[in-house]
C-alpha cells in the first residue's frame, strides 16, 4: 500500500503543480460517452463488471486499510483497459473504496472524490469527507479512488532519487544547467521503468476510468468532489461525459486554458503575497524564530538564506539526518508552506527558516524535528512511495516546450520581476524530455452546472483560474472566500460559510441563485 505521509505531501506540494496534437480516429471515438455504458465501443464488460467488496487491508503493515475497515469502509478493484482504443487488450486495476449511505430512505447517489496532485490518492478519504458533509453525508455512498497508476491501483514507479521534480533553477546559469541534466534523467527513468504504460497515463483516461466506476456502481449519474488538480479532472469529465454527472463541486479550480507542465507560472504574485503575510506573522513571534521583528526584516532574512544557499549548500541536521540544501531547494520549502495560512503550517515554516537561518550564519547543525527531517528526506532523497506518476499525468496531457534555451530566457525574464519564485515557476521539468501526448488537451465546449469554490489569496490554483473556469461554464456558481491565503477549503479550512454553501448544494442539488462571498473567520 502506498500513501504519502503528511510531511511528504507537504514537500510534494498538492499541486503541480504547448502544442496540441490531433488524436487518432479511434481515440477520438473513445472520447465520447459510450452508448449504453460502453456496448457500442466494446467496453460493456468493464461497465457491467461485478465488484468484489471486501476488507481494505492490503497487508500486516497497512494501518490505513485497518482504519478504513474500522470506519465501515469497504474496498474493491475495478478492472479497466490500459488503452481505451483496445478494450480487448491489456487491463489494469483502479482501487476504490466505499462508505455506504446510512440514510437509505433519502439516498441521493454516489459521490466520487479526488484530492488533486495530480497523482493524489483518495481511497483513504471517505471517512473525512463524510464528516465534512455533516448530515448530508449520510445520504451518499462516498467513493474514494486512486487514479490509474497511483497508490493501491496498478502502480508506476520511476525510481526517482528525489521526491519531486518541482525545483528552482536557482540563481545562476550553472544551476539551471544542472536542472536540465536532472530533469532529463528523471524523464529517462520513467521511460526505462515502463515505457509501455506512459502513453496511457492521462487525465482523459482517468475520466474514462471514472465513468467505468460509475457504471460498475450501477449509477446512471455520479456526483463529484475534486480539489486542486481534481477540479481539472472534474471539468474534463463533464466535457467527455455530459449527462453522466449530477452534483459537482470544484474546490480551488484550475482554468483548463492554463493547465499544463508550467501550470505554476502566473502564481508568483499570490505566493509573494502569502509569503509577505507569513512574514508579518513570524515578526510577531521573533522571540520564537529569531527571523526579525518586522515584516521587512523577516523577508530580508529569507533573502539572506537564499543567497547563502546559492554560495554553497546549507548543512542542517545531525546524526543520521544530515541534509545539504541549495538554492534549487530552499524556494521549494517556502513555496510548499505558504499555500496554507493556518497557524500550524505557518509555525512549521517558521521552524524551517529558523534552522536554515542559523545554518546560513555558520552555526553548528542541530537535531531536526521529525517533521522537518521527514520533509527534507522526501524532498532530497525520495521515499518508499513510488515516484514519477504526477509528471507522467501532466506530461501525458499537454506537450511542453523542448528547447532548454527557451526555459532559460523565460527564467531570466521572470526572475527580474519575481526573483524568489520566478526561477521555480518557470523552470524546466521532465515534460521537456517526454514523448508527446497521444491526445490533444480537452477543450471546454459544453456548459456545466457546477459549484466552484475559491479563496482570493490561493497561492496554488490562483483565484483568477476559478474566475476563468466560471466564465467558461456560465451556468456554474462561484463561492468566494475573501482574505485567505489558502488552497483547498471545503471541510479542510473550517470556514462555516463555505462548508454550509457546499453542503446545501449537495443536499438539494440546487446551485445558489447568484455567486456567494464568504469571509475568513478570525482565528
Which pLDDT does position 39 carry in this prediction?
60
Q: Which of 124, 342, 335, 341 is nearest to 352 (CA)?
A: 335
Mean pLDDT of 340-346: 96
Helices 343-360 and 330-337: crossing angle in degrees, nearest 10, is 160
pLDDT in tens, 194-238: 999 999 999 999 999 999 999 999 999 999 999 999 999 999 999
Does 523 have pLDDT greater than 90?
Answer: no
CATH class of 44-155+200-258+443-519: alpha beta
Q: How far apart are CA 187 and CA 183, in angstroms?
A: 6
Q: Cβ atoms within 10 A of the Cβ of 102, count?
A: 12
pLDDT above 70 as % of the chain: 92
Q: How far apart are CA 222 and CA 142, in angstroms?
A: 11
Model-level pTM greater than 0.75? yes
Does 29 have pLDDT greater than 60?
Answer: no
pLDDT in tens, 293-336: 999 999 999 999 999 999 999 999 999 899 999 999 999 999 99
Q: How far apart are CA 28 and CA 37, in angstroms?
A: 17
Which pLDDT does position 383 carry in this prediction?
79
Does 107 have pLDDT greater than 90?
Answer: yes
The structural domains of the chain, with segments of one domain joined by +, span 44-155+200-258+443-519
Which residue is it, cell 486495476? 93
Mean pLDDT of 343-365: 96
Helices (H), 266-363: 268-283, 286-289, 295-311, 330-337, 343-360
Q: Can you state the percent helix, strand and coil of the chain, rounding each to 5?
A: 45, 15, 45
Q: What angle do CA 34, 38, 39 make, to 5 degrees?
A: 115
pLDDT above 90 as % of the chain: 89
Which pLDDT does position 16 carry in this prediction?
33
Which pLDDT does position 163 carry in this prediction?
93
Which pLDDT does position 487 carry in this prediction?
96
Mean pLDDT of 377-401: 93
Q: Which of 484, 521, 74 is nearest to 251 (CA)?
A: 484
Q: How far apart are CA 113 and CA 96, in angstroms?
A: 10
Which pLDDT does position 65 carry in this prediction?
97
DSSP string, 232-290: HHHHHHHHHSTTSEEEEEEESPPPTTT-STTTTTT-HHHHHHHHHHHHHHHHTTHHHH-
pLDDT in tens, 42-52: 999 999 999 99
Q: 267 pLDDT band (50/70/90 cuts)?
A: very high
Which pLDDT does position 23 carry in this prediction?
30
Amino acid at each position: 500500500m502506498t500513501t504519502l505521509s503528511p510531511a511528504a505531501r507537504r514537500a510534494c506540494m498538492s499541486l503541480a503543480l504547448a502544442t496540441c496534437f490531433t488524436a487518432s480516429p479511434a481515440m477520438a471515438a473513445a472520447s465520447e460517452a459510450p452508448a449504453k455504458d460502453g456496448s457500442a465501443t466494446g467496453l460493456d464488460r468493464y461497465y457491467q463488471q461485478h465488484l468484489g467488496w471486501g476488507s481494505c487491508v492490503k497487508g500486516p503493515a497497512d494501518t490505513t486499510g485497518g482504519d478504513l475497515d474500522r470506519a465501515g469502509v469497504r474496498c474493491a478493484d475495478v478492472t479497466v483497459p490500459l488503452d481505451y482504443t483496445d478494450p480487448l487488450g491489456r487491463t489494469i486495476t483502479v482501487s476504490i473504496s466505499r462508505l455506504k449511505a446510512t440514510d437509505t430512505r433519502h439516498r441521493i447517489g454516489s459521490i466520487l472524490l479526488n484530492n488533486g496532485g495530480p497523482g493524489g490518492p483518495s481511497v483513504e478519504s471517505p471517512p473525512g469527507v463524510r464528516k465534512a458533509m455533516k448530515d448530508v453525508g449520510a445520504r451518499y455512498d462516498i467513493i474514494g479512488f486512486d487514479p490509474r497508476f497511483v497508490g493501491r491501483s496498478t502502480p508506476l514507479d520511476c525510481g526517482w532519487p528525489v521526491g519531486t521534480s518541482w525545483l528552482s533553477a536557482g540563481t545562476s546559469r550553472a544551476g539551471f544547467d544542472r536542472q536540465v541534466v536532472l530533469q532529463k534523467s528523471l524523464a529517462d527513468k520513467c521511460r526505462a521503468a515502463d515505457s509501455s504504460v506512459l502513453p496511457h497515463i492521462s487525465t482523459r483516461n482517468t475520466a474514462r476510468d471514472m465513468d467505468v466506476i460509475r457504471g460498475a456502481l450501477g449509477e446512471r449519474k455520479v456526483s463529484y468532489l475534486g480539489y486542486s488538480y481534481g477540479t481539472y479532472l472534474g471539468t474534463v469529465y463533464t466535457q467527455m461525459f455530459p449527462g453522466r454527472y449530477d452534483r459537482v463541486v470544484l474546490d480551488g479550480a484550475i482554468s483548463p486554458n492554463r493547465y499544463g507542465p508550467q501550470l505554476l507560472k502566473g502564481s508568483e504574485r499570490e505566493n509573494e503575497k502569502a509569503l509577505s503575510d507569513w512574514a508579518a506573522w513570524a515578526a510577531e513571534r521573533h522571540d520564537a524564530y529569531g527571523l526579525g521583528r518586522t515584516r521587512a526584516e523577516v523577508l530580508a532574512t529569507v533573502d539572506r538564506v537564499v543567497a547563502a544557499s546559492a554560495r554553497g549548500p546549507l548543512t542542517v541536521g545531525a546524526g543520521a539526518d544530515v541534509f545539504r540544501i541549495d538554492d534549487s531547494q530552499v524556494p521549494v520549502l517556502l513555496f510548499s508552506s505558504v499555500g496554507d495560512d493556518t497557524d500550524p503550517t505557518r509555525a512549521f515554516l517558521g521552524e524551517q527558516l529558523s534552522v536554515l537561518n542559523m545554518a546560513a550564519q555558520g552555526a553548528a547543525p542541530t537535531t531536526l524535528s521529525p517533521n522537518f527531517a521527514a520533509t527534507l528526506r522526501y524532498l532530497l532523497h525520495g521515499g518508499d512511495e513510488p515516484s514519477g506518476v504526477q509528471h507522467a499525468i501532466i506530461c501525458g496531457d499537454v506537450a511542453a516546450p523542448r528547447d532548454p534555451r527557451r526555459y532559460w530566457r523565460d527564467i531570466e525574464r521572470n526572475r527580474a520581476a519575481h526573483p524568489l519564485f520566478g526561477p521555480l515557476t518557470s523552470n524546466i521539468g521532465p515534460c521537456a524530455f517526454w514523448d508527446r501526448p497521444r491526445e490533444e488537451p480537452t477543450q471546454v465546449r459544453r456548459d456545466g452546472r457546477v459549484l466552484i469554490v475559491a479563496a482570493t489569496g490561493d497561492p496554488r490554483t490562483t483565484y483568477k483560474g476559478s474566475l476563468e473556469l466560471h466564465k467558461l461554464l456560465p451556468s456554474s456558481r462561484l463561492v468566494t472566500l475573501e482574505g485567505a491565503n489558502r488552497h483547498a477549503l471545503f471541510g479542510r479550512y473550517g470556514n462555516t460559510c463555505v462548508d454550509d454553501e457546499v453542503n446545501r448544494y449537495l443536499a438539494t442539488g440546487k446551485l445558489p441563485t447568484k455567486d456567494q462571498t464568504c469571509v475568513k473567520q478570525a482565528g
